[in-house]
Structure 1
Amino acid sequence: MARKAATARGRTLGAELLALRKHRGLTTRAAAERIGWTAATLNRTENGLRVATAEEVATVLGAYGVVGGERERLLALARDAETPGWWEPGDSIYPTPLKALIGFEAQATRITNVEISLVPGLLQIPEYARAVMLASGIPPLEIETRVATRMGRQAILSRPQPPKLLAVIDEAALLRPVGGRHVMTEQLHHLQRLARKPNIEIRVLPLDAGAHSALAGPFTILEFGRANPLVHQGGKRSISFVDSAPEVAEFVASVDTLRRTSLPPDRSVALIAKIIALKGS
């Protein structure tokens, strides 16, 4: 069931506190009494629907008897959760769902992006992104800000300890000359360069594969260190997140099927090179 998702930092911190409570064999009610909270407050905190302050986390850690390096690590995580990211200024121009997505991407350890019509946003060059936005009817005055935001999101792929990214792209998206032949050729060259990075895997769904499960629409699976995975689905007018385990499992199963249907990384890169050669002829 799609619903408004918890914040990325809240989910990460909450998952850590949940693991601590379970490790100590405490029920929600017993732990809440020990901390001095209501069971509802603790439940919301563990689910990421409420972000605890560093002071509150210190109280929880004291109640659970956590000391030493583990205590310092969790307090640092709590302080980080209180620090706004670059996408979270007080008068943010970014809509709440987009801020949520950027936050989840920043916290994810693995991202799986399935796209049918376009190159995934995390792999787009500025000119390609600009052409997509212009064709989507985004006001020209907003386009440059949105392009800059998209490029900012991509920084996670080159940071220390970057997330693993699996991009499954339909061949049709690679054949469509978004922005014209020159822009599309540069975009394809960019995909070739990215495919050489150890944390990025690109797989192409060839046209001759026929119908496949991704035709139902694009989606992104975000996985985290402790928090449960969730699925992002975005359209022109809406962004939704799915985090119920049975529904997430359906998307994971779809990716398993698409892995078998798609070309392996080396053949995918070879196909991209072939498309570049055809565009240059």
Structure 2
Amino acid sequence: MPRRPPSARARGLGAELRDLRLGLGKTSRAVAEGLGWSPSTLSRLENGLRGITVEDVAALLVVYQVTGPERDRLLALAREVDRPGWWETGLPGLPNQLTALIGFESQAERITEVGMLLVPGLLQTTEYARAVMVGGDVPAHEIEARVVTRLGRQALLSRADPPELHVIIDESVLRRPVGGPAVMAAQLQHILTAASRPTITVQVLLSALGAHLGTAGSFVLLEFLKAHAIVHLEHLRSSLFVDEPGDVAPFMQARDTLAQQALDPTASADLLASVADEYQGR
């Protein structure tokens, strides 16, 4: 059974504690030995893989000589580490990987969605999301709860401090009539509206490009202010996170290459509007 992914809050707090240690030039072994811990314990704590307690953080802050408001802030973060988000309450049955993804999205500074088959979830309309669920053979009694969850994820785009969202989609996504012409016309108009926000960029990869790095599969790249970037890969019945920096690097390179190959945002908007008009004329 795959391990439960670390929470976004735990990864963020762990990254801050690691930065404090590195800023003082201390090795993880020296800090761990001074506290009577094993080096692996400290490593897992800094990577969000081990439950962080307020006592753990308080002990580390003594070693790092952190006092005053900064100490209070970090201890407050420690108290919040295990507080469930909205996606972890009231919606039973959501897979651990999905709840982890939503948590990471809520903490990310920048999100890149490379979509080769469908409109990424953060930009889906209600009717499009419902059609995806129906076509994906989701049990009828679960569809509405999953649609609500998907739409709930989008609230982060309207926050006072939203993450940057960069969406790169294949032209085939625009032309796949999920839900029928009316649903697709509304969906493409929704993308156009979203793309008008200063924090959202949408680019389209033309089918005429032929093979490119995106044809290897869709992925979500999440980048954080402190913690290492991670990648989410979704499959038919499972999904996984890639979090080792060496494994994440090729996805970051693929993002950059695909952004160069795709239409620029203005040309992409023109294509989206043109295809939306085609659907409206059917």
Please give the range of the TM-score, normalised by the shorter of the 2 chains: over 0.9
Q: Give the whole-Å Cα distance in 2 for the aligned partners of 1:259 and 1:85.
A: 32
Structure 1: gaps (5+ residues): none
Query: TM-score if structure 1 supplies the norm length?
Result: 0.95
Match of 2:136 in 1: 136
Q: Which moved more, 1:48-57 or 1:183-192?
A: 48-57
Q: Give the whole-Å Cα distance in 1 for the aligned partners of 2:211 and 2:129.
A: 27
Match of 2:276 in 1: 276
Query: TM-score if structure 2 supplies the norm length?
Result: 0.94
Q: Give the whole-Å Cα distance in 1 for the aligned partners of 2:174 and 2:13.
A: 39
1:214 aligned partner, one-letter code: G
TM-aligned CA distance change 1:90 to 1:137, over 3 Å: closer
Deviation at 1:72, TM superposition (A): 2.1
1:105 aligned partner, one-letter code: E
Match of 1:187 in 2: 187
2:144 aligned partner, one-letter code: E
Query: Are residue 157 (structure 1) and residue 157 (structure 2) matched?
Result: yes
1:11 aligned partner, one-letter code: R
Query: Are residue 53 (structure 1) and residue 53 (structure 2) matched?
Result: yes
Match of 2:74 in 1: 74
Match of 2:93 in 1: 93
1:277 aligned partner, one-letter code: D
Q: Give the whole-Å Cα distance in 2 for the aligned partners of 1:3 and 1:18.
A: 23
1:135 aligned partner, one-letter code: G
SS of the aligned residue for 1:82 comes to coil
Superposition pairs of residues 249-264 of structure 1, within 5 angstroms: 249-264=249-264
1:264 aligned partner, one-letter code: D
Deviation at 1:272, TM superposition (A): 0.6
Q: Give the whole-Å Cα distance in 2 for the aligned partners of 1:29 and 1:278.
A: 63
2:63 aligned partner, one-letter code: A
Q: Give the whole-Å Cα distance in 1 for the aligned partners of 2:135 and 2:145.
A: 16
Q: Give the whole-Å Cα distance in 2 for the aligned partners of 1:79 and 1:199.
A: 31
1:260 aligned partner, one-letter code: Q
Instruction: Give percent identity, aligned residues only.
Output: 51
Q: Which moved more, 1:143-152 or 1:41-50?
A: 41-50
Match of 2:103 in 1: 103
1:159 aligned partner, one-letter code: R
Give the conservation status (yes or no) of the 8 Å contact 1:113–1:167. Answer: yes
Aligned residue pairs total 280
Structure 2: gaps (5+ residues): none
